[in-house]
Amino acid sequence: MTTVESNTTAAIPDEIARQIVLPEGHKDNVPLFEAYRWLRENQPLGQARVEGYDPLWLITKYADLMEVERQPQIFAAGGGEDKGSNNPILANQAGDEFTRQLLGGNLRILDALPYLDQPEHSVVKDVAFDWFRPANLKKWEDRIRETARASIDRLLAGGPDLDAVQEFAVFFPLRVIMSLFGVPEEDEPRMMALTQDFFGVADPDAQRDDIEALSPDAAAQQWAATIADFYAYFDVLVESRRAEPRDDLATLIAVAKDENGEYFPKTFAYGWFVAIATAGHDTTASTLAGCLQSLAAHPEVLDRVKGDPDLIPDLVNESLRIVSPVKHFTRVALQDYEMRGQKIKAGDRLMLLFQSGNRDAEVFDRPDDFDIDRRPNKHIAFGYGPHMCIGQHLAKLELKVMLQELLPHLERVEVSGEPKLIQTNFVGGLRKLPVHLTFS
């Protein structure tokens, strides 16, 4: 969605804009975080105009992110009444055009919460909102702990030298999510591959063989193809749970009915399943890997937490802040709005930069330091407002349980090779983290 009149006085320097908007700008955190810092200190609200992309207001400050997210009636995810007119996940113009052609002029490729606005958002969110409450999740803690212990047993049996991402961190949250769905363990490799395809659309290391990598709309093609593969798998799951309900999350979603007593269209069940299977897996894996990287850099923190396991929730929160695996969502202004003296016009798009907000020095003292003693630690790794991540309590529980089980066995973490990040401006963290582990 392009804006006819752009605010030339608000233009962000091209080098900074490209660093943040382009996926390849996210393959190295050092220049990326420097670009975030430059914007926060010099131009906290400005327009990025990168060739091939719609103009974007970059929202870099914590307070501004909160201001936008608490006003969904002004800043819509999917376009407000004009459903599907905004893509909440940034794609280039060629990619959005591919999606419009695929969907008959629409950008809503998933009937999932990130694409929905009120009142539809609340109706769909209510399907599983209570399931994700801490009180309900408590009954699943024993199963999560068994999964963590099994994962740690495999880690201990495999030797001290490994890729902490590909050989450890990615498997635990996937197994948790799939077991809560009731997906059989033998299907997990397929779910793993699809998740990597889903979030790796802009990463050369995660390109599908059936997509022409150099095509301008390659990322959108891979996104659409991966969603279609997810749909094919989850259709069987929906039919199975409607025919034979079980006590699992998949059944809750599959048998949900609207106000008329009719099943929601299958696409809404697919949307739930895709969102939980991907975001619920990849974000937790990225945070766990980032936590291990931080413990390698700060062995004194590992010693402290081993000596006082009550510090584990603080370790989890600071790891979430430091990693911030969800880097952005976009919003579209439904009316003219003034922020920081700038005129945001109806129809303008905004790119909400959560990683930047979580390193805002006005909110976090020494924001680049890993400090588990932050009180309070008001990170926004899960977003804010109505679109705040519904799975946040599950993610925190998984990470807490894993660390409770892992740290008694772990004496030291040493990074033994070059870490590598996933090349993405959306959701991701470490792709590779070679480590040497010393076990107790």
Known binding residues for heme b: 121, 331, 384, 387, 389
DSSP secondary structure code for residue 373 in this structure: T
Residue numbers belonging to the annotated binding site = 121, 331, 384, 387, 389
CA dist list (Å): 358 to 199, 217, 298, 424: 21, 31, 20, 18
Place of tokens 């779910």: 191
Peptide bond into 119 cis (omega under 30): yes
CA dist 25 and 16 (Å) reads 9
Token representation of residue 141: 């803690």
Closest C-alpha to 221, from 233, 210, 230, 206: 210
Phi-psi region of 325 (alpha: psi -120 to 50; beta: other; left: phi over 0): alpha
| Burial class for 111, CB neighbours closer than 10 Å (0-12, 13-18, 19+) | buried
* 124 membership: H or E segment, kind and range: helix 120-125
CA–CA gap between residue 435 and residue 258 (Å, rounded): 49
DSSP assignment of 268-314 equals HHHHHHHHHHHHHHHHHHHHHHHHHHHHHH-HHHHHHHHH-GGGHHH
